[in-house]
Structure 1
Amino acid sequence: MENTNAIKAIDNILENLDKTGINTTTLIDDIKALRVFALEEEIPLVVKVLRLTYEHIESFGNFFIPIPQDEPIEEDTDEDISDENSPVESLKYLISLTRNLNNKSNISDLREYKELLMSY
């Protein structure tokens, strides 16, 4: 996103996720506030993904969507991968994608998050 206040909101969400994890009390309001910036900038994909994200968190009290994978993961890989797919890490990744929408892989991953959220 281009708006400096949107970037600050993204940074704030990421910082809070690092400090407190998925604290639904503030997190949902923060994501809703970020969504307003996406509405103002007329970015429908981000608007939809953020809405689906906070609705998912409201419904389940956590974020159960894994980070989209570029390549299939082999089953005998390191245990660090499970940490990458923790709810906090996945949500941090999703939120960070909204920072640079000129990156085609970010758009692709946001589309994949949208599909995963809609089918959950």
Structure 2
Amino acid sequence: MENRKAIKLIDKILENLDATGINTETLIDDIKELRTYAIAEQIPLVVKVLRYTYEHIEENDSFLIPILDDEPINEEDSMEENVEVSPVESLKYLIALIKNLDNKINISDLKEYRDLLMKY
């Protein structure tokens, strides 16, 4: 995102997630505010992902979408490395993606989060 206020808000959200975890009251308001910046900058993918995100958190009192894998894993690896990633880490990753939309991988990951949130 280009807007400095939006970048500051992203940093605030990330700091709050580190400090208090998923505190739904302030988190949802912050995500809604961040969404207004995405609307102003006319970034439809981010607008949609943020709406799905706060609706998901409202419904579940948590962020139940797992963090995206860096690479495809085969079943043998997944059985051995059954690593559980916290909802906070997954949400932090999603919010951090929005900070740099010039990165094609970030856009791809946001599309994947959008699809996962729609299916949930």
Q: Distance between the aligned counterparts of 1:100 and 1:9, measured in 2?
A: 14
**Residue 90 of structure 1 corresponds to which residue in structure 2?**
90
The one of 70, 76, 81 aligned to 2:80? 76
Letter in 1 for 2:31: I
Letter in 2 for 1:17: L
Which deviates further from its counterpart, 1-10 or 64-73?
A: 64-73
**Residue 37 of structure 1 corresponds to which residue in structure 2?**
37
**Residue 107 of structure 2 corresponds to which residue in structure 1?**
107
Q: Superposition pairs for residues 5-20 of structure 1, below 5 Å?
A: 5-20=5-20
**Residue 57 of structure 1 corresponds to which residue in structure 2?**
57
Letter in 1 for 2:44: P
Q: Distance between the aligned counterparts of 1:28 and 1:70, measured in 2?
A: 27
Describe the superposition over 1:27-53 as per-residue Cα deviations: whole angstroms up to 9, x where unpaired.
Answer: 000000000000000000000000000
Instruction: Structure 2: give runs of 5+ residues left out of the alignment.
Output: none
Superposed displacement of residue 63, structure 1: 0.2
Regions of 4+ moved over 3 Å: none
Superposed displacement of residue 9, structure 1: 0.4
Describe the superposition over 1:57-81 as per-residue Cα deviations: whole angstroms up to 9, x where unpaired.
Answer: 000100000111132341212x6x3
Instruction: Structure 1: give runs of 5+ residues left out of the alignment.
Output: none
- Secondary structure in 1 aligned to 2:80? coil
CA RMSD of aligned residues (A): 1.0
Name the % identity: 68
**Residue 27 of structure 1 corresponds to which residue in structure 2?**
27
Letter in 1 for 2:117: L
Q: Distance between the aligned counterparts of 1:43 and 1:101, measured in 2?
A: 9
Aligned residue pairs, count: 116
